């Protein structure tokens, strides 16, 4: 399986949802970086944010850290899986559940893929990604670069947006301590109630995560195929359920004329070249402009719902009914907030390694 991302920093994710363990190997991290284990675990615990109860997946570092410092050699961490709590149905390996990768995975891997709780396609594999993002985030924050995200929307309910031009470090960090990661708590209550109502009728909801990175210096990235946008997109689309990605004004820019979309440059009171607006989302030509990097990721509703659905048995080629999910998920968006942060952290650090005097 192609579960390796290699761009200066290399990450390789391994394991299946019901295998003995899942984990990750991270290579080419700078040596001598202090890793705060408590902060790393707090970052990981944010996957449990929201209305769904997820497993407390604790990472165990096997190599690459000695005396709380990175050694420069591959950092390997594994997370022990909790044993299966229910007996899977007899036809799990041949029934194509709507919205899942059961059918496509079976075709791609000739029926040999592990299908238990979606195997390698499971959202549980975001835990190793979050581990890597937590490590990269600590290295970046030591250089004053901070990444933060919140739920911008669930179903038809929208949170207050980040300020793409004047966002502060405090605004980024304030979301992290919240049980439900929104800016406007009242909107958060409405979202929670909407999720609850959907769950009562066996439905699930999707939404949007907005993420911003501040203090990224100008000049990070490359044009064409190695742009900062390219790498962020690769990693964000590695999160299960992502169906769309915007930078800056995103699709709204298609409704603008050029003079509206262009961001005028000026020199601020500190002598820095900045822009008055940030429709470009902090990246021009694949290279950071020095403005906050701003993205939005759209997530589909969870396919694991509490309703029967129509499908096929792709072994016998007969139509079948898929019974309601044993553990339906009414909304995965709250837990995805930290996953988006993690992906952005990895992409930024991979380009920062080339930045003069970074290490």
- What percentage of residues in the chain have a pLDDT greater than 70? 93
pLDDT digits (tens, 9 = 90+) for 286-307: 999 999 999 999 999 998 888 8
CA 31 – CA 145 distance, rounded (Å) = 19
In a domain, 14, yes or no: yes
> Could you give the CA distance from residue 275 to residue 152 in angstroms, rounded to a whole number?
24
Residue 359 lies in a domain: no
Could you report the per-residue pLDDT of 133-188, keeping only the tens digit for each?
Answer: 999 999 999 999 999 999 999 999 999 999 999 999 999 999 998 999 999 999 99
User: Which of 14-28, 144-158, 260-274, 331-345 has the lowest average pLDDT?
Assistant: 14-28
Say how many CA atoms lie within 13 Å of 89 toward its Cβ.
14
Total of domains in the chain: 1
Q: In whole angstroms, what is the distance from residue 359 CA to residue 353 CA?
A: 7
Q: 12-40 pLDDT, tens per residue?
A: 999 887 778 889 999 999 999 999 999 99
Domain with 137, as residue range(s), is 4-352
The CA-based dihedral angle spanning residues 69, 72, 74, 78, taken in that order and rounded to the nearest 10 degrees: 10
In a domain, 176, yes or no: yes
Q: How far is CA 291 from CA 2, 178, 240, in A?
A: 33, 26, 29
Q: Is residue 358 part of a domain?
A: no
pLDDT digits (tens, 9 = 90+) for 238-257: 999 999 999 999 999 999 99
263 within some domain: yes
Domain holding 42: CATH number?
3.60.150.10
Q: Is residue 357 part of a domain?
A: no
| CA atoms of 242 and 302, how far apart (whole Å) | 11
């Amino acid at each position: 399986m192609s579960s390796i991302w290699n761009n200066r920093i290399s990450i390789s994710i391994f394991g299946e949802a019901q295998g003995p363990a899942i984990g990750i190997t991270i290579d080419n991290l700078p040596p001598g970086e202090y890793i705060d284990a408590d902060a790393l675990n707090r970052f990981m615990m944010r996957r449990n944010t929201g209305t769904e109860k997820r497993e407390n997946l604790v990472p165990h570092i096997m190599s690459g850290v000695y005396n709380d410092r990175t050694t420069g050699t591959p950092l390997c961490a594994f997370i022990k899986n909790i044993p299966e709590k229910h007996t899977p149905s007899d036809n799990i390996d041949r029934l194509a559940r709507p919205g899942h990768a059961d059918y496509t995975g079976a075709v791609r891997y000739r029926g040999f893929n592990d299908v238990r709780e979606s195997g390698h396609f499971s959202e549980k594999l975001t835990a190793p990604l979050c581990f890597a993002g937590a490590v990269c985030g600590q290295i970046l924050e030591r250089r004053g670069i901070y990444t933060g995200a919140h739920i911008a929307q669930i179903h038809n309910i929208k949170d207050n947006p980040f300020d793409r031009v004047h966002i502060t470090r405090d605004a980024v960090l304030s979301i992290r301590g919240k049980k439900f990661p929104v800016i406007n708590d009242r909107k958060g209550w409405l979202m929670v109630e909407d999720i609850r109502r959907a769950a009562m009728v066996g439905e699930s909801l999707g939404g949007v995560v907005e993420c911003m990175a501040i203090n990224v210096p100008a000049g990070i990235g490359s044009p064409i195929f190695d742009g900062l946008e390219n790498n962020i997109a690769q990693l964000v689309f590695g999160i299960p359920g992502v169906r769309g990605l915007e930078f800056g004004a995103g699709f709204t820019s298609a409704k603008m004329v050029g003079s509206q979309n262009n961001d005028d440059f000026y020199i601020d009171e500190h002598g820095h070249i900045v822009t008055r607006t940030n429709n470009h989302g902090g990246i021009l030509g694949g290279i950071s402009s020095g403005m906050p990097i701003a993205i939005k990721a759209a997530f589909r509703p969870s396919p694991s719902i509490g309703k029967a659905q129509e499908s096929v048995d792709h072994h016998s080629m007969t139509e079948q009914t898929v019974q309601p999910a044993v553990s339906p998920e009414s909304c995965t968006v709250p837990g995805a907030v930290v996953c988006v942060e993690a992906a952005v952290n990895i992409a930024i650090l991979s380009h920062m390694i080339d930045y003069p005097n970074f290490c």
